Amino acid sequence: MNETSLNISIREVTKKYDQFYALKDVSLEINSGEFMTLLGPSGSGKTTLLMVLAGFTNPDYGSVKFGDEEVILKPPHLRGIGMVFQNYALFPHMTVEQNVGYPQKLRGVSTAETKRSVEEALSTVKLEGLGHRGINELSGGQRQRVALARAIVFKPKILLMDEPLSALDKKLREEMQIELRQLHDTLNMTTVYVTHDQKEALTMSDRITVINDGELMQLGRPNEIYEHPNNHFIADFIGESSLLPVTVRNGKASLNGEEVTLAEGAERSGDFLLVVRPEKAFLADKKVKGSNYFVGKLIDSIFQGESQLLVVKLSSRDDGHEVRVRVPNESVTQKALPLVGENVTIGLKVADSYVVS
Ligand code: ADP
Ligand code: MG
């Protein structure tokens, strides 16, 4: 274990509100220095789990360890964590400096040391020179930086963040995602980051824990979760996908009676969903071995800047299901795209063909 971070061990954490389970038997290990994201839709239990880590919510059952120490009975202010809330939670009547120095004041740190650590924290979040400003004189992005500076001013070994970028506009949010990740790499504290934005999670995380209805659905590196979703919820929630009903019998998969060759997932018989990622599907001129093909009619074609999104209604294999195909812009200029109403053939490499339940 190094000095700047601690591992977190969460065991069998359950939280009930009356008969409703906000968290159901959640267990996970977060490595020292790791950037772990809790990802899930609204109401899935992300904030509840973060509040259990912070000590603001007591679970009905379970254990939370920071390093070797059980912290479940420790009050929040003794847990040594830095915390950034969704709504910033800054003190509006205090200056930037006073806000950032507040945790130091609470801890009884000397005036000189507080001044030094506040300057360092403000410089880390690129707010040098704004210490005397009032909170109301700052933009949303600057306020978020103040909240971050306040969370890291005492160099906590664990940093918890609850949707810290959700109030910012898209461009600033995307810039801040990269910046926060770089900051994490510099400071090296264990970070638990909550978001409902799958792209944000893919961009920032070492690993992602997907939560739905209070339950841990999948835990893995961003590429693992994207390329090997455990179930249709994850396949649908992370990235874009078209899900087509497939039946597997005796090692053979079929879509509406026509055979589909799968890279994985043909061992079990039953009804499954074929995951078609738009960027993996392609427009096919001719059929060659090693891919599955689907014939259909182009019903929509949408220019999205870096790519063109084609929506195809399948006819050959299936009636009514739609498949989305993303054609990169470079090839848009190279060859003519089909027109809406035309029949098209879509290919999907066998290597990219897998099913979920
Ligand atoms: P998320 O952060 O993923 O949006 P939360 O952890 O805030 O979700 O909430 C999970 C579920 O628990 C929600 O259905 C929410 O309504 C419920 N919940 C959270 N806090 C309370 C509470 N204090 N009393 C009752 N229900 C709550
Ligand atoms: Mg929340």
What does pLDDT average to over the chain? Answer: 93
Distances, alpha carbon 146 to alpha carbons 86, 102, 320, 330, 356, in Å: 13, 12, 51, 41, 43
Residue 319's pLDDT band, with cuts at 50, 70 and 90, is low
Q: CA 208, CA 212: separation in Å to the nearest integer?
A: 13
Q: Using pLDDT thresholds of 50, 70 and 90, give the confidence band for residue 111.
A: very high
**Which domains does the chain show, CATH number per domain?**
8-227 (3.40.50.300), 240-356 (2.40.50.140)
- Split at pLDDT 50, 70, 90, the class of 1 is very low
**Burial readout 240-251 (b: 16 or more C-beta within 10 A, e: otherwise):** ebbbbebbbeee
Overall average pLDDT of the 40-45 stretch: 97
Residues in the chain: 357
Give nearest CA residue, ligand 1 atom 16. Answer: 43
The pTM for the full model equals 0.93
Q: What pLDDT is attached to residue 286?
A: 85
Q: Round to whole Å and give the CA distance between 144 and 140.
A: 6
pLDDT tier at 293, thresholds 50, 70, 90: very high
Question: What does the alpha-carbon distance between residue 309 and residue 331 come to, in Å, rounded to a whole number?
Answer: 13
Residue 82: the pLDDT is: 95
Alpha helices in 42-136 (DSSP H): 46-54, 96-106, 111-124
Q: What is the structure's pLDDT at 105? A: 93
pLDDT of amino acid 251: 86
Q: Does the pLDDT value for residue 352 go beyond 70? A: yes
- 20-28 mean pLDDT: 98
Residues with a beta carbon under 5 angstroms from ion ligand 2: 47
- Cα of 17 vs centre of ligand 2, distance in Å, is 16
Instruction: Work out whether strand 61-66 and strand 35-39 pair parallel, antiparallel, or are unpaired.
Output: unpaired
In 71-118, the DSSP E strands lie at 81-84
CA 349 to chain centre: 27
- Residue 199 in this model has a pLDDT that exceeds 80: yes
Q: Does 333 score more than 70 pLDDT?
A: no
17 Cβ below 6 A of ligand 1: yes
The conformation of residue 338, written as its DSSP 8-state character, comes to P
pLDDT above 90 covers what percent of the chain? Answer: 85
Among 16, 18, 19, 47, the mutation site with the greatest number of ligand 1 atoms within 8 A of its Cβ is 47
Phi, psi at 19, each rounded to 5°: -90, 0
User: Does 43 contact ligand 1 (Cβ within 6 A)?
Assistant: yes
The pLDDT of residue 2 is above 70: no
Residue 235 has pLDDT above 90, yes or no: yes
- The answer, yes or no, to whether any atom of ligand 1 lies below 6 A from the CB of 212, is no
